Structure 1
């Protein structure tokens, strides 16, 4: 599995069970090819006519590394892979791949897949024109059936805990509130209730309004005015910057009271160009530092250098390169090496960012281990690190830091 020769202690540390500190549920149902391709695309859009998302670094890596877990030869053709996947059934595929990831704990964002933003991908049920399918997509009005956090744990033979996405709480409250005052009261109460059984809170504001946020708490009057507008369209994702700032500060209050980390999606994964640069959070992070709320920057790529700078500058900031690792596949060692060069080791975390298909969880863990192994081997070969230090850092990033931050 590991691409280089390493001392036994370092190899054992890399192969030790991981804490996947940010992932999503995977689909429990059998998927048509069009559905599967959307879920492995990274951006969530169909491939152009006559092409396929299997012709990507992630797609090639999937055929190389996931195929053997389904009893196929490496590099098996996409049609053969998908036929075998259908033959085994979703439950067995999920069990093999989630267990194969070697994860000891999954921290799962349990929000439905449609709660992201106006510029997220079409529904998983949108068919692709470029690939045939023998399975009819499910009704687009049906919510895709994702495994719960507990089910992710059972399939993977691991512990599992919930991450609460604050935008989903907002949508639930907006759908039930009759008056703006009710909306304000219910939002804080519902966040408190949901946080009681969670290990962290998460926001996708990068997709909704960008990360260059005004760091101050908005006035009550401005929030009430924005809430009145919001209740006219409660089914849509929230986009009003005033309302989103209010939501964020409600989450900050809850995180402070309960000692929870607050995750920010940044970089890779569907946000508009430039809006997901974590450097935009600098002023907010300064404000949060004396409050003591840990800020977790997810994915970050291609802004991982900026994220690493923030992690080095502020004691409450942590970082991962999540989705970037499986989606850069064979070149992921470059990304991991840069983060290892720039960010304090005690500020780095592992996540797969898995969403929709269990292949993403397996490849996230595999690619991370291979990438970190390559980066550590270079430092060992140059005499910069001892084997003891390399093993310690591998344990730290793979699981130890997450256990400390999330109090697992």
Structure 2
């Protein structure tokens, strides 16, 4: 396949659980709801494609798979699966879960492994997690900073002072100096039909967990301006997620006014995941030159339907607009399946296009390289991290 062996940049992912897992805990991480299951397209893909990486036959039973996983231990399993992705650059969202002194974003069971050492600073803990992930995965690891996490950390530390908005901006600028991208989860908090504000609201925030649309609209506007100034893309969670989300409010078409407002500012907006709105996201990437998109966690969740979802995304999206990501979280199986199913899905799709004489082999190879890493290289700055390639 044209996709075999091509190096990937995973433009949006998270860390993995650094502990061994029983079946209940493992299955919790196999879905976006309160409990996933092996009895799903994703669970079937784990048994089919991840089992051989752990020296098991394809389609090994769930119990057999988990026994072998326990025999090898989380460290060996994570290293095999992460390094088997072919990813050479990882852009990691470090904001999923609590920081020292910071209220939990969503204290679900899948963030329990991110417990922190009170003797370390928030910055050193983030750095330690990135270093640990890099040692497991190899390649270059960089940080994507979550806007809401920074703002809530400042509020938790400083309270509702008269300078709170300036304090938030200063903290965000400091974090952005060491990052390659910014991210917002405003879709979870109030939906994507938020008011874009260029000045902070008259009243300071009265809550630690931010949900007020006006305050969040100011924060996202601030992130877009800082991103444009520093050359950092602003990522938006779009489409399906966990039960905190109201899916109809995560349709990227609700961002149309925001995209019009930011079109000529130098900002780059990246729409993450997108399913089931990936065609809507494709349309936005088609009409707004500063919009990029990925399919993220949709790819491992849809399994062998990945090719169909990729085909639908490419119906309108310019080839320069689509980037690869896994949105892997907790289980290294998700990072691995994101890469493997992307390669299979896109490879088979392009084989069909070549067979139909819809595209030349040279153009297809260029498209693969673009989505795999070249498009991300065009929008994300050079790495702030040291490459880690040695044996973990």
How far 1:35 moved relative to its partner? 1.6
Shift of 1:177: 1.4
Specify which of 136, 161, 172 is matched with residue 142 of structure 2. Answer: 161
Say whether 1:375 aligns with 2:356. Answer: no
2:256 to 282, 303, 306: 282
* Distance of 1:371 and 1:108 partners within structure 2: 24
In structure 2, the residue matched to 1:297 is 271
Structure 1's unaligned 5+ residue stretches are 1-5, 48-52, 126-137
Q: Could you say which residue in structure 1 is the equivalent of 2:292?
A: 318
> Residues 17-42 of structure 1: CA distance to partner in whole angstroms, max 9, x if unpaired?
1000000111111122222111111x
User: 1 CA distance for matches of 2:35 and 2:327?
Assistant: 20
The Cα of 1:83 is off from its aligned counterpart by 1.5
Change (3 A) 1:171 1:179: closer
Call closer, same or farther: CA 1:114–1:46 in 2, change over 3 Å. farther
Once residues 141 and 333 of structure 1 are traced to their aligned partners in structure 2, the CA distance between those partners, rounded to angstroms, is: 34
| 1:30-71 Cα shifts (integer Å, max 9, x gaps) | 122222111111x13125xxxxx1011110000111111111
Aligned to 1:245: 217
Alpha-carbon contact 1:199-1:260 (below 8 Å) kept: yes
CA distance in 1, matches of 2:353, 2:96: 42
For residue 180 of structure 2, give the secondary structure of its aligned residue in structure 1.
strand
| Pair 155,259 (structure 1): closer, same or farther in 2 beyond 3 Å | same
| Residue matched to 1:123 | 109
Q: Which residue of 1 aligns with 2:84?
A: 100
Distance (Å, rounded) in 2 between the aligned partners of 1:149 and 1:111: 12
Give the match for residue 340 of structure 1.
Answer: 314
TM-score (norm 2): 0.89
Instruction: Give yes or no for contact 2:268–2:291 (8 Å, CA) kept in 1.
Output: yes
Q: 1:148 aligns to what SS in structure 2?
A: helix
- 2-structure distance, mates of 1:173, 1:88: 41
Secondary structure in structure 2 of the residue aligned to 1:180: coil
CA distance in structure 2 between the aligned counterparts of 1:276 and 1:65, rounded to whole angstroms = 31
Map of 2:388 onto structure 1: none
Question: What secondary structure, in the 3-state scheme, does the structure 2 residue paired with 1:265 have?
Answer: strand
195-204 vs 148-157, greater mean Cα deviation: 148-157
Residue deviations 1:176-213 (CA, integer Å, cap 9, x gap)? 11333232121001101100110000011111110112
Q: CA offset at residue 143 of structure 1?
A: 6.1
Residue equivalent to 1:58: 42
1:364 aligns with 2:354: no
Residue in 2 aligned with 1:128? none
Aligned residues: 370
Q: Deviations over 1:321-367 (max 9, x none)?
A: 11111100011110001112221001110000101111000000000
Give 1:214's aligned residue: 195
What is the alpha-carbon distance in structure 2 between the residues aligned to residue 124 and residue 253 of structure 1? Answer: 32
> Do 2:252 and 2:281's aligned partners in 1 also have CA atoms closer than 8 Å?
yes
Distance 1:65 1:188 in 2: 45
Runs (5+) with no aligned partner, structure 2: 118-124, 383-392
TM superposition shift of 1:122:
3.5
The residue number in structure 1 matching 2:326 is 352
Distance 1:32 1:251 in 2: 40
Report the alpha carbon displacement of residue 226 of structure 1 after superposing the two structures with TM.
4.3
CA distance in structure 2 between the aligned counterparts of 1:89 and 1:182, rounded to whole angstroms:
48
Question: Which moves more between the two structures, 194-203 or 25-34?
Answer: 25-34
How far apart are the structure 2 equivalents of 1:124 and 1:158?
25
TM-score under structure 1 normalisation? 0.86
Rounded Cα–Cα distance in structure 2 between residues aligned with 1:291 and 1:30: 47
| 8 A Cα contact 1:353 1:361, kept in partner | yes
The alpha-carbon distance between structure 1 residues 388 and 216, as it changes in their structure 2 partners (threshold 3 A), is: same
Contact 2:319-2:370 at 8 Å conserved across structures = yes
What CA distance in whole angstroms lies between the structure 2 residues aligned with 1:181 and 1:14? 56
Give the superposed CA RMSD: 2.4
Q: Which position in structure 1 is the counterpart of 2:390?
A: none
Tell me the residue number matched to 2:53: 69
